[in-house]
Amino acid sequence: MKTGHLDLKTGRTLIAGILNLTPDSFSDGGAWEREGVLKCVERMIAEGADMIDIGAESTRPGGDPVSREEELKRLIPALEEVRRHFDIYISVDTYKPEVAKAALEAGADMLNDISGLGYEDGKMAEVAAKYKAPVILMYNTHYPHADKEQDLMKHINAVLFDAAQKAIAAGVYEDDIIIDPGVGFAGSTENDLVILRNLEDICSWGWPVMLGTSRKSVIGNTLKLPVDQREEGTLVTTVLAAQAGINIVRVHDVQKSRRALDMLEAIG
């Protein structure tokens, strides 16, 4: 079985290309059906993706949940096909422990848990520990509008620290924990902007960090743009992330993101 490799200590911001196996993704639902899973992955690798993040349930706020059986039906055949054909690092975007277990057995390298171990009493941590899989822990607790930015940042820090400690207690290696501050899941556009203003602070908390802003509502609401016109705003946040020291950016348009990051690196 082929597998990928991910080095978070290169000093450069890595790109996770998004592969949504969902008909109702807020941004590109159905794209994989039009292009084909292998073609999608092949294209993203050619465009400069360092890893692929595969999801089979739309996890946007307000999205329709799917059953474990439906998620597995969408995910596992595609994951197995990608694993057979490509030496690329694969993370799987799921909060269900049973789906995570099946994904790791099918060849996934990493788990991307938007619940931050908040689903089913943290059983996801047990799965990650059993399979020695790195896990991305995302902040996903709605927080009322904060009068002071530090209130929100302290709250996010505390929630993610607690999730990380649960993972470690379950047997996940400390070096296998990545955090995601949860842009799009923090309760309001203003809270999302607070997170983006404090990326350097987040990078100082001691964990590698992944940031996912691609085409999200914070860009649409700020610029008053529909989802298919948010790429310029996404690129600004991608460059901002790299300047702050973010380890991974999760994006839809790999090519534009790679070009932006290469230009930033060339400038030094």
Instruction: Report helix, strand and coil shares of the chain as percent, to nearest 5.
Output: 50, 15, 40
pLDDT digits (tens, 9 = 90+) for 81-125: 999 999 999 999 999 999 999 999 999 999 999 999 988 777 999
Residue 4 belongs to a domain: no
Distance CA 187, CA 203 (A): 21
Distance CA 40, CA 29 (A): 13
Per-residue pLDDT at 10: 83
Residue 69 belongs to a domain: yes
Contact 246, 199 (CB under 8 A): yes
Give how many domains the chain has, as a whole number: 1
Per-residue pLDDT at 31: 56
Q: What is the dihedral of CA 20, 200, 238, 28, to 10 degrees?
A: 20
What is the DSSP code (8-state) at residue 209?
B
Cα three-residue angle 91-97-100, rounded to 5 degrees: 25
Which domain range does residue 142 map to? Answer: 14-267
Burial label for 222, CB within 10 Å (0-12, 13-18, 19+), is middle
Instruction: Residue 95: name the closest of 68, 115, 121 by CA.
Output: 115
Distance CA 127, CA 242 (A): 31
Q: Which of 65-74, 140-149, 186-195, 205-214 has the lowest mean pLDDT?
A: 140-149
Which of the residues are catalytic? 216, 250
Burial label for 27, CB within 10 Å (0-12, 13-18, 19+), is middle
Residue 160 belongs to a domain: yes
Q: Residue 65: which pLDDT band, with cuts at 50, 70 and 90?
A: confident
| CATH at 248 | 3.20.20.20
Residue 53 belongs to a domain: yes
Per-residue pLDDT at 30: 53
Distance CA 35, CA 41 (A): 10
Residue 139 belongs to a domain: yes
Residue 31 belongs to a domain: yes
Residue 8 belongs to a domain: no
What percent of the chain has a predicted confidence (pLDDT) above 70? 92
Residue 9 belongs to a domain: no
pLDDT digits (tens, 9 = 90+) for 136-185: 999 998 777 656 788 999 999 999 999 999 999 999 999 999 999 999 99
